[in-house]
Amino acid sequence: MKPIFLYLSIFWLATISACSSNLYRSTNRSYKKQVKNYAKLLREYPVKDSSGLLFADIWVGTTNFTMRRPNFVVIHHTAQDSCGQTLRTFTLPRTAVSAHYVICRDGTVHHMLNDLLRAHHAGVSKWGNATDLNSMSIGIEIDNNGSEPFTEAQMNSLLQLLDRLKRAYNIPQANFIGHADVAPGRKVDPSRFFSWHLLADKGFGFWFDTTNVDVPIDFNALQALRIVGYNINKPDIAIQSYKIHFVPHDTTNVINDTDKKILFDLMRKYQ
């Protein structure tokens, strides 16, 4: 009896340990339940409603359709103190915020939401003619409080992830952007510590080269910002977001001669 009792005790302890180590067992169940409900909704064919339209007596479903696919990637920093804190924030219903991916300081990647589902990460946003970036983008949060450098492990994981996403969804090079870009004035992430130059060198977003750039006398810097993608309804905050991304050492909201060269070159790449 003793060996059997011993084996049962070990099994029981292992089971308890496994259950206690998964802090997100409850929220994972909630995720699966929500996905199941959406799947049920998708299985329902279009039905008549009360809009007063003259619907046909029979339903004819098209055979030509696919899932909607993301066309942008929006990069954030978490503005929190740990990866665990961010994971908790994204698993509390009352916060109503989320992201598809969270990258911890050691490079560990949490894939929190299917890429084809809509995360709540960008909020009120605009980039070029695109509004509601949540509905057409993948959100990536990097564990960083906003006032510190990003780790090498994080950047390596990010580059690998971006490469996979770019190939999987054929995302254009111009469509890798930051939260500050799409929500100028409201957001500043992923902060001035983030290396957009590194990403551009790998094909994720564009960078500038002002070598031999001659700016026309009638060059309109604000219109160049608009062509790049920025919402210029409030010029000062548009300039601020541009500098967070492309000239992080400059904290002013003034377009100088160097900025004009940068924007002229960027405009040619983004238009």
Active site residues: 141
Contact 101, 112 (CB under 8 A): yes
CA atoms of 193 and 244, how far apart (whole Å): 9
Contact 136, 149 (CB under 8 A): no
Alpha-carbon torsion angle 54, 68, 119, 49, nearest 10: 10
CA atoms of 239 and 181, how far apart (whole Å): 10
The percent of the chain in helix, strand and coil, each rounded to the nearest 5, is 45, 10, 45
Q: What 3-state DSSP class applies to 205? A: coil
Q: C-alpha distances in angstroms, 120 versus 90, 99, 113, 185?
A: 10, 6, 11, 19
- Helix and strand element counts for the chain (H, E): 9, 7
Nearest-CA neighbor of 141 among 203, 95, 202?
95
Q: For the chain, how big is the Rg over CA atoms in Å?
A: 23
